[in-house]
Amino acid sequence: MKKLVLAAVMTAFALSGCSTMGMDNERTMVVDGKPMNVKVVNIPSFKIEVAPLKAVCELSTADGTKVESECLQYRQTYQKNYTPLNGNIQGFTYEPNYRYVLDVRQEVVVDKVSNMAKPVWILNEVVSKVAE
């Protein structure tokens, strides 16, 4: 009888956890101008290095046209090459000619206009800022 009660409690606990955690992490995002189903997850903390100079990159406007812009360049602290960041890091103010190491988090937000989920990076902490 105790085992049956324990199993019922564990099942209720597991089911309530599933209903509040939002187990469906597949969202529709626009990738290279086309809607695609991708998995998007919240990441509480990861470190990136931001280059001292911005890169020229292409951004998509709301109507889908591509425009040239300047973007931050970032890499994981263990990577060799930089990647342009198509967007901003909320809470971070970039100054040229400084190399940054940042602790950031990624959260999923839904765009109110397109109703699509997209990842947003938010600054947790500036780990270091070194003049180049």
What are the pLDDT digits (tens) for 87-127?
899 999 999 999 999 999 998 887 777 777 778 999 999 99
Q: Residue 18 falls within a domain, yes or no?
A: no
Instruction: Compute the chain's Rg from CA coordinates.
Output: 20
Domain of residue 105: give its range: 26-131
Q: Does residue 64 carry a pLDDT above 90?
A: no
Residue 50 lies in a domain: yes
Q: Please answer whether residues 9 and 17 qualify as being in contact, where contact means their C-beta atoms are separated by less than 8 angstroms.
A: no
Whether 5 is covered by a domain: the verdict is no
CB 71 within 8 A of CB 86: yes
Task: Choose the weakest-confidence range: 21-25, 51-55, 65-69.
Answer: 21-25
Number of domains in the chain: 1
Q: Is residue 54 part of a domain?
A: yes
59 in a structural domain: yes
For residue 61, being part of any structural domain is answered with yes
Per the domain annotation, does 9 fall within a domain?
A: no
